[in-house]
Amino acid sequence: MANSAEQIVHDALTALGMGGVYPDVASQNAPRPWFTYQAIGGQSINQLDDVVALQNARMQVNAWATTRAAAVAMISAASAALCFEPVLATSIGAPVSTYEPDTKLFGSRQDFSIWFTP
């Protein structure tokens, strides 16, 4: 298992084969479509001395594509990849659609809670 929520998300999205996968933002000349992801908080856990504690991260996943239908399909696939074995994340709310006029890309984003052992 990966040692960070970022790595868990990156690996799960890459395995989908639906486009590039980037932390925070895609590179300027990245081929379309792509996913971006970022940590946006999580539950704070106090750990005991000499005990590796389970940690939590809230991760936002964004799907960017040239059509609304493609962005929706991508975020749906991302949700399935993250919420079932082996990750078992919990979705936080339903996907949100957006449009980026500068890139002319349609987007869909969703937040996930991921528990992991560092």
pLDDT tens digit sequence for 101-115: 999 999 999 999 999
Going by CATH, does the domain composed of 5-116 fall within 1.10.10.10?
A: no
- This prediction's pTM: 0.88
Tens-digit pLDDT profile for residues 47-99: 655 556 778 899 999 999 999 999 999 999 999 999 998 999 999 999 999 99
Give the count of alpha carbons within 13 A of 107, CB side only: 20
Strand partners, 14: none
- CA 13, 84, 43, 50 dihedral sign is negative
Q: Would you kindly state where each structural domain of the chain is located, as residue ranges?
A: 5-116
